[in-house]
Homo-oligomer: A and B are copies of this chain.
Amino acid sequence: MLPFGRVAIIGMGLIGSSLARAVRAAMPTVRLTVSDGDALVRERVRALDLADDVTDHAGAAVVDAELVILAVPVGAMAPVAAEIAADLAPGAIVSDVGSVKARVLADLVAALPGVAVIPGHPVAGTEKSGPDAGFASLFADRWCILTPPADADPAQVTQLAAFWSALGARVETMDAAHHDRVLAVTSHLPHLIAYSIVGTASDLEAVTRSEVIKYSAGGFRDFTRIAASDPIMWRDVFLHNREAVLELLGRFTEDLVALQRAIRWGEGETLEALFTRTRAIRRSIIEMGQDDARPDFGRSHEG
**What distance in Å separates the Cβ of A302 from its nearest Cβ neighbour in chain B?**
6
Residue A256 lies at the interface, judged by CB distance under 8 Å to chain B: yes
Cβ-neighbour of A277 out of B199, B263, B264 (below 8 A): B199
Identical chains bound together, number: 2
- Which of A89-97, A103-111, A150-158, A217-225 lies at the interface with chain B? A217-225
Residues A213 and B263 in contact, CB atoms below 8 Å apart: no
User: Is A299 a contact of B288 with CB atoms below 8 Å?
Assistant: no
> Whole-angstrom distance between the alpha carbons of A70 and B165 in the complex?
52
How many interface residues does chain A have, given as a range? 35 or more
Contact flags (1/0) for A182-205 with B, using CB distance below 8 Å?
A: 110111111111111111111110
- Residue of B at shortest CB range from A245? B263
A228 to B293, CA, bound (A): 12
Note all chain B residues with C-beta closer than 8 A to A215.
Answer: 123, 143, 145, 182-183, 186-187
Which stretch from A45-53, A57-65, A112-120, A246-254 is at the chain B interface? Answer: A246-254
Interfacial chain B residues near A37, Cβ < 8 Å: none
Task: Say yes or no for A126: interface residue by CB 8 A criterion.
Answer: yes
Is A56 among interface residues, defined by CB-CB distance under 8 A? no
Do A194 and B182 touch across chains, with their CB atoms under 8 A apart?
Answer: no
Judge whether A271 is part of the interface by a CB distance below 8 angstroms: yes
Whether B218 contacts A123 by the Cβ 8 Å rule is yes
A234: Cβ under 8 A from any B Cβ: yes
Chain B residues whose CB sits within 8 angstroms of the CB of A135 once the complex forms: 301
The verdict on A232 contacting chain B, using a C-beta distance below 8 Å, is: yes
Query: Quick check: is A207 within 8 A (CB to CB) of the other chain?
Result: yes
| Chain B residues with CB below 8 A from A124, complex form | 217
Q: How far is the CB of A289 from chain B (nearest CB, A)?
A: 9
Distance in angstroms from A171 CB to nearest chain B CB is 12
Smallest CB-CB A-B distances: 3 pairs: A187-B218, A140-B303, A231-B275
